[in-house]
Amino acid sequence: MEKDSKNDKLYIMKYTLSSGIRGTVPLSTNSINDWLECYNLNKVFITKIGTEYFGLDPKYVADFKVHNEQHDSFKNDSKHFDSLSEAYNIEKIIIKVDCKCNTIYNTELSYYTSKWYCSKCKESVYHDKNYSETKSDKRTILYFTNKHQSEHVCSLNEL
């Protein structure tokens, strides 16, 4: 492994062995890259820190963390983060609530549900699939109502 230069900034690597023993070691950027290579290839890592030699066998390392350093293998993959941000920006569903209490309004939901409630009287309203979905600003509006008997509501005769 490469010898650490005196001008190279040192970073602290914390590691935990499989036995539970924890340790820390100061490593230069070159030594960190060497450690990552050894870890990935499952080869013993040996480096010189000052006048001392330090060795670590990756097969006995349960986990490790390098503080204050971002390595090539850990750099943000913009494509990966773009797909994550798209997943969190899922388009909200707009529903139109038309209740027996004569309250009519639109609201946004984060997810689809077949049952909602009126914000005024708190009665349940249901997605009426008999009404066609309407589009507004390239978004779909679903119609929810409780004005007519629905398959969601059972009568006393059915019990």
Pairing of strands 45-49, 22-28: unpaired
> For the chain, what are the domain ranges?
10-68, 93-145
Residue 7 has pLDDT above 70, yes or no: no
Q: In the CATH scheme, what architecture does the domain 10-68 have?
A: Roll (2.30)
Provide the H-helix boundaries in 11-153: 29-41, 78-88
Give residue 155's pLDDT band: very low, low, confident or very high (50, 70, 90): very low
SS3 state of residue 85: helix
CA distances (Å), origin 89, targets 52, 82, 119, 159: 52, 10, 25, 43
pLDDT at residue 150, rounded to an integer: 46
Per the model's pLDDT, the better-predicted residue between 70 and 134 turns out to be 134
Sorting pLDDT into bands at 50, 70 and 90, what band is 10? confident
What integer is the mean pLDDT of 103-112? Answer: 87
Higher pLDDT among residues 31 and 149, named by residue: 31
Residue 47: per-residue pLDDT: 92
